[in-house]
Amino acid sequence: MQRYRCIISYDGSGFSGYQVQPNKRTIQLELEAALAKMHKGDTIKVVGSGRTDAGVHAKGQVIHFDSSLLILENRWEVALNSLLPEDISVLEVKKVSESFHARFDAVGKEYRYVLQLSSKRDPFQRKFAYQYPFRLNVEAMRTASKYFLGTHDFTSFCSAKTEVVDKVRTIEAIDFFMEGNLLTFRFVGNGFLYNMVRILVGTLLEVGSGQRSPSEMQDVLANRDRRLAGKTAPAQGLYLWEVFYN
């Protein structure tokens, strides 16, 4: 048996998220279906670095699987891409030691969130950015974002459905950059809770639009209450950009 690590990219708009669910089209389902075809119908379990929700995209999701097939790394890439649907792409396949684990070994992640700042609906961006037609004060959002840097209990910034008990996470960087009319938020941290990036973005938008002041973020964090944070920003603007390993 050989363990393989793959970097994959997907357009999340046609999927009910990453993880297998009954009667739903998911990333994991398509990956396991492609691997089953290569293994005469045998089930090959795929382990991802984490889930992504329905409509959320990935530029650099990482998965691992085990196989006894003797195939070179670059041929794995070609074979898998030929069996996968067009909205998933395998960017890299590497042999790894059998101790590697895509989820447990991940030491950090980068997510990006893309806003299309325009009053005009753009048919080409509708699945790939969140259209935001109002004025935004990026400097106020930048000031607010500083409160999230470092290690905090992010209970206020995760879905009430979150099952994990330990809600302490470390955010290393939050940046903002404009390209044309697209404003991208970049988040780097050691891990992110369920809906955490989307709730951080939704809350920062309330700061950027003047509904909240940046310094309020301190209280929102301290009170550990999801109801105090802003709305969950829509899925289509979110990208799992990169997963980091040692």
| Strand residue runs (E) in 28-123 | 47-48, 57-67, 88-96, 106-116
Among 86, 97, 99, 164, binds a copy of itself (CB under 8 A): 86
Q: How far is the CB of 232 from a copy of itself (least distance, A)?
A: 20
Question: Which residues fall within 8 angstroms of residue 55, CB to CB, at 6 or more apart?
Answer: 12, 13, 15, 127, 234, 235, 236, 238
Q: How far is the CB of 90 from a copy of itself (least distance, A)?
A: 8
Among 2, 19, 67, 89, binds a copy of itself (CB under 8 A): 89
Q: Among the options 42, 53, 66, 105, which is catalytic?
A: 53
Question: Which residues fall within 8 angstroms of residue 221, CB to CB, at 6 or more apart?
Answer: 147, 148, 152, 153, 154, 156, 157
Among 2, 16, 67, 81, binds a copy of itself (CB under 8 A): 81
Structure tokens at 104: 């447990």
Task: Tell me, yes or no, if 53 is annotated catalytic.
Answer: yes
62 phi and psi, to 5 degrees? Answer: -120, 135
CA–CA separation, 60 vs 119, rounded Å?
31
* Using rule CB under 8 A, residue 181 touches a copy of itself: no
Cα end-to-end span (Å), the chain: 23
* Using rule CB under 8 A, residue 124 touches a copy of itself: yes
* Using rule CB under 8 A, residue 179 touches a copy of itself: no
* Using rule CB under 8 A, residue 9 touches a copy of itself: yes
The residues of the shown chain that bind a copy of itself, judged by CB under 8 A, are 9-11, 57, 81, 86-89, 91, 120-124, 126, 128
Catalytic residues: 53
